[in-house]
């Protein structure tokens, strides 16, 4: 047989090729096609146009990056929740619905209005040059040209018009405003008596049978959750940094090569006079503007101290003329190159020649300079050493991560081999299936805990695979002891059960006596009650939400009105409503609240209109996305 194989090797290779190739064509290409199309699968549609999984993922990643920039210390686990992803998809759908509405309603923004919004809105201040033009360098750093930015801004403005057309025309009727004010601010004069559970504790004495019966009826409330005692090891850059030392010569070499990082950026404070002349203007127009600038330059050099007054009277830069042309301090990159080069070539007090830019002709006077000082090596040595050690640790990370991953897998009976190899620390903890509220580091990783409580890990007490628990951070754990969820026996929880039974019996006694007092008061509404108060939603005077609701729902047409409120484990409350009093507001607050109510109504009208647009444009979620309520419940 083997002789036949050796003799006919080429024939067998050809036969295998004929068998394998068709299978690859049929199944391999189909599998590849399915894989490549996964990101293009629609998760929602608006007006027949799909929102793909890839768009959803990209939008969520952008949202995560924005939030992390604003709040670097926020728990990363919050970003991975079903609720967070659901909210991202809702926002995508909203943007698509409003964009569709703007297009179909033919809403647009003129060039003049677009420019006016750009130069007047504070949110665009960082993107404006001193003369009100767009800073192309900053846009380029964000991957946009000025045309792209204008197009995006125009679209945003058009979309805003969709809902503003409804919200800005909403009128809050006086009847609705008055009803809302009355619901929030109406005051009621009451008398009441409390039957607090704590006042009845001394009057009850539960028996052992009572305690046993309560424990049996509430076994679910005395369950000990599943937990495990684990040992674990963590590999991260901090661990790798500890094993790295850097020679003094290398530190000084790094300082010399990166001296710009340890030099305070030089800044200039200048004033300028601008005579506008568009770069595409006719030659005679530009010549006339330049001649005017030359005349102003001559005046400025005759009287340098009067430069501010000269700018105030003659500069055509609407953003700085009123301040005498003052541009405040600016660094390199903040101005167009020709202006920047001229300003940084001057000494304090000097006046530049006429400088031409795309905006016209400038005359610049340098007011002051600051920065440009180099920090000495000794002052920054510690930070340099930290930077170098981190860079070296980062270079070593890939190799160390591979060693960690392979070792915990290949020698799965213990973490000691990987601890010895990479000089890690053996850590211990008692954990449950979900991270504790105050968990930090690896113990806050749901992925690690899922690996710990997997069936294989519980059964064989072997190392988990290496789990990524953070950026450049791997962990592995193994169970030392495991305790399944169980009902804690009465002997273990008897003291707490006795407290619960006593509180329950005291609350029942309070309710009984409270109900008796209520019945007495219903027969004789004029009977005396010990405590008087004036309550409203704005001033509850210590009334619980449940009690306040009952008091304010009492029929004001039949006073006095008597109500009894069961406060459950806190006891019982009997209240008599004697008077309804008008709202009491400080001067001027009524107008403020009316404005706030009108704003809320406008928001409600806008939300209703948006829902109507969703229906009109058939906004449909195709993917299985949890609702906020179900997602929150799952998180809890």
Mean pLDDT of the chain: 83
Same domain for 21 and 67, yes or no, is no
- Regarding whether 326 and 426 lie in a shared domain, the answer is no
Q: Are residues 439 and 322 in the same domain?
A: no
Q: What is the 3-state secondary structure (H, E, C) of 576-588?
A: EEEEEECCCCCCC
- CATH code of the domain covering residue 238: 3.10.50
Q: Which position has the higher pLDDT, 465 or 114? A: 465
Given a cut of 70, whether residue 12 has pLDDT beyond it is: no
In a domain, 252, yes or no: no
Local confidence band at 588 (pLDDT 50, 70, 90 cut-offs): low
- Whether 11 maps to a domain, the answer reads yes
- Is this model's pTM higher than 0.85 or not? no
Q: In the predicted model, what is the mean pLDDT of residues 63-83?
A: 72
Helix, strand, or coil here: 328? strand
Q: pLDDT value at position 126?
A: 73
Checking if the pLDDT of 521 tops 90, the result is: yes
Could you tell me the pLDDT band of residue 37, with boundaries at 50, 70 and 90? Answer: very low
Summarised one tens digit per residue, pLDDT across range 149-162 is: 777 777 778 777 87
Q: What is the pLDDT of residue 197?
A: 95
Closest to 621 measured CA to CA, from 89, 170, 113 = 89
56, 178: one domain? yes
Lowest mean pLDDT: which of 20-29, 172-181, 422-431, 545-554?
20-29
The secondary structure of residue 26, as a DSSP letter, is I
Same domain, 625 and 514: no
Query: What's the pLDDT at 29?
Result: 37
> pLDDT: is 150 or 491 the higher one?
491
Which is more confidently placed, 580 or 115?
580
**Domain co-membership, 353 together with 280:** yes
CB-hemisphere CA count at 13 Å for 534?
Answer: 9
Cis bond leading into 560, ω under 30°? Answer: yes
Phi, psi of 143 (to 5 degrees): 80, 25
Contact by Cβ (8 Å): 408, 476: yes
- Indicate whether 74 pLDDT > 70: no
Structure tokens at 59: 């939008």
Q: Are residues 297 and 324 in the same domain?
A: yes
Distinct helix (H) and strand (E) counts, the chain: 23, 17
Distances in Å between the Cα of 564 and the Cα atoms of 455, 578, 598 are 54, 15, 36
Least confident of 75-79, 131-135, 375-379: 75-79
Q: Which of the four pLDDT bands, split at 50, 70 and 90, describes residue 539?
A: confident
Residue 251 has pLDDT above 80, yes or no: yes
Please tell me whether residues 325 and 402 are part of one structural domain: no
Q: How confident is the model at residue 73 (pLDDT cuts 50, 70, 90)?
A: low
Is 396 found in the same domain as 464? yes
Residues 162 and 45 occupy one common structural domain: yes
How does residue 626 score in pLDDT terms, banded at 50, 70 and 90? Answer: low
Reported confidence tier of residue 572, pLDDT bands at 50, 70, 90? very high
Confidence (pLDDT) at 390: 86
Q: Which of 337, 338, 478, 344 is nearest to 414 (CA)?
A: 478
Q: Does residue 376 sit within a domain?
A: no
- Asked if residue 331 belongs to a domain, the reply is yes
Last residue of a domain, one of 581, 601, 617: 581
The pLDDT value recorded for residue 466 is 95
Collapsing DSSP to helix, strand or coil, 454 comes out as coil
Non-local CB neighbours of 190 within 8 Å, separated by 6+ positions: 532, 533, 534, 535, 551, 575, 576, 577, 578
> Could you give the number of structural domains in the chain?
5
Nearest to 177 by CA among 507, 621, 602: 602
Two tokens, residue 398: 């890939």
Same domain, 93 and 176: yes
Confidence of residue 275 (pLDDT cuts 50, 70, 90): very high
Whether 551 is in a domain gets the answer yes
Residue where a domain terminates, one of 438, 459, 484: 484
Q: Same domain, yes or no, for 469 and 500?
A: no
Question: What are 473's strand-pairing partners?
Answer: 236, 470
174 assigned to some structural domain? yes
pLDDT at residue 449 in the model: 94
Contact between 602 and 170 (Cβ < 8 Å)? yes
User: Which CATH number covers residue 621?
Assistant: 1.10.4030.10
**Is residue 377 assigned to a domain?**
no
Phi-psi region of 137 (alpha: psi -120 to 50; beta: other; left: phi over 0): alpha
pLDDT at 6 over 70: no
- The set of residues, in sequence order, having a beta carbon less than 8 Å from that of 341 and lying 6+ positions away, is none
Name the more confident of 80 and 561.
561
Please check whether residue 197 is in contact with residue 571, taking contact to mean a CB–CB distance below 8 angstroms: yes
CATH number where 347 lies: 3.10.50.40
Which domain-ending residue is among 544, 563, 581? Answer: 581
pLDDT band at 634 (very low <50, low <70, confident <90, very high): very low
Q: How confident is the model at residue 95 (pLDDT cuts 50, 70, 90)?
A: confident
Domain containing residue 231: 226-246+388-484
Asked, for residue 284, whether it belongs to a domain, the answer is yes
Q: How confident is the model at residue 293 (pLDDT cuts 50, 70, 90)?
A: very high
Does residue 178 or residue 319 have the better pLDDT?
A: 319
């Amino acid at each position: 047989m083997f002789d036949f194989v050796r003799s006919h090797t080429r024939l067998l290779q050809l036969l295998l090729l004929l068998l394998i190739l068709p299978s690859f064509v049929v199944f391999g290409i189909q599998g590849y096609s399915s894989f490549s199309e996964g990101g293009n699968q629609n998760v929602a549609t608006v007006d027949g146009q799909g929102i793909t999984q890839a768009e959803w993922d990209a939008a969520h990643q952008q949202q995560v990056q924005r939030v992390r920039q604003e709040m670097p210390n926020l728990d990363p686990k919050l970003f991975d929740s079903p609720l967070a992803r659901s909210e991202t998809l809702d926002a995508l759908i909203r943007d698509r619905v409003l964009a569709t509405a703007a297009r179909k309603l033919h809403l647009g923004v003129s060039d003049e209005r677009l420019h006016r919004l750009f130069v007047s809105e504070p949110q665009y201040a960082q993107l404006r040059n001193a003369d009100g033009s767009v800073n192309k360098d900053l846009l380029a750093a964000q991957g946009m040209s000025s045309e792209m930015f204008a197009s995006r801004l125009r679209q945003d403005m058009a979309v805003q018009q969709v809902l503003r057309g409804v919200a800005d025309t909403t009128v809050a009727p006086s009847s609705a405003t008055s009803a809302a004010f009355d619901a929030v601010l109406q005051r009621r004069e009451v008398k009441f008596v409390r039957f607090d559970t704590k006042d009845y504790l001394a009057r009850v004495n539960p028996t052992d049978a009572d305690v046993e019966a309560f424990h049996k009826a509430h076994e679910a409330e005395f369950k000990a959750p599943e937990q495990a005692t684990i040992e674990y090891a963590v590999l991260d850059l901090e661990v790798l940094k500890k094993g790295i030392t850097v020679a003094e010569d290398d530190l000084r070499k790094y300082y010399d090569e990166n001296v710009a990082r340890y030099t305070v950026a030089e800044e200039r404070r200048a004033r300028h006079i601008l005579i506008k002349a568009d770069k595409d203007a006719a030659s005679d127009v530009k010549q006339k503007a330049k001649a005017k600038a030359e005349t102003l330059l001559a005046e400025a050099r005759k009287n340098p101290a009067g430069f501010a007054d000269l700018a105030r009277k003659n500069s055509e830069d609407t953003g700085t003329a009123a301040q005498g042309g003052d541009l405040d301090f600016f660094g390199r990159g903040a101005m167009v190159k020709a202006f920047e080069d001229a300003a940084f070539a001057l000494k304090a007090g000097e006046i530049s020649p006429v400088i031409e830019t795309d905006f016209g002709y400038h005359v610049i006077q340098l007011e002051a300079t600051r920065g440009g000082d180099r920090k000495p090596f000794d002052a920054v040595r510690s930070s340099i050493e930290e930077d170098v050690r981190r860079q070296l640790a980062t270079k070593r990370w890939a190799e160390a991560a591979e060693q960690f991953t392979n070792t915990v897998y290949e020698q799965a009976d213990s973490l000691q081999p990987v601890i010895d190899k990479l000089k890690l620390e053996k850590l211990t903890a008692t954990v449950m299936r979900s991270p504790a509220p105050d968990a930090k580091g690896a113990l806050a990783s749901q992925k690690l805990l899922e690996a710990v409580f997997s069936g294989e890990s519980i059964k064989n007490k072997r190392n988990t695979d290496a789990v990524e628990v953070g950026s450049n951070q791997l962990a592995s754990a193994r169970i030392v002891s495991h305790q399944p969820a169980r009902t804690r026996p009465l002997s273990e929880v008897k003291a707490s059960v006795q407290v619960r039974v006593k509180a329950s019996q005291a609350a029942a006694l309070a309710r009984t006596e409270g109900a008796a007092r209520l019945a007495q008061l219903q027969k004789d509404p004029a009977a005396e009650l010990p405590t008087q108060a004036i309550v409203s939603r704005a001033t509850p005077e210590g009334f619980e939400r449940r009690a306040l609701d009952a008091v304010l729902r009492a029929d004001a047409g039949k006073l006095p009105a008597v109500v009894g409120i069961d406060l459950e484990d806190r006891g019982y409350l009997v209240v008599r409503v004697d008077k309804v009093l008008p709202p009491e507001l400080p001067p001027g607050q009524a107008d403020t609240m009316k404005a706030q109510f009108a704003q809320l109504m406008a928001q409600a009208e806008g939300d209703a209109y948006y829902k109507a647009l969703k229906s009109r444009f058939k906004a449909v979620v195709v993917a299985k996305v949890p609702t906020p309520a179900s997602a929150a419940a799952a998180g809890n």
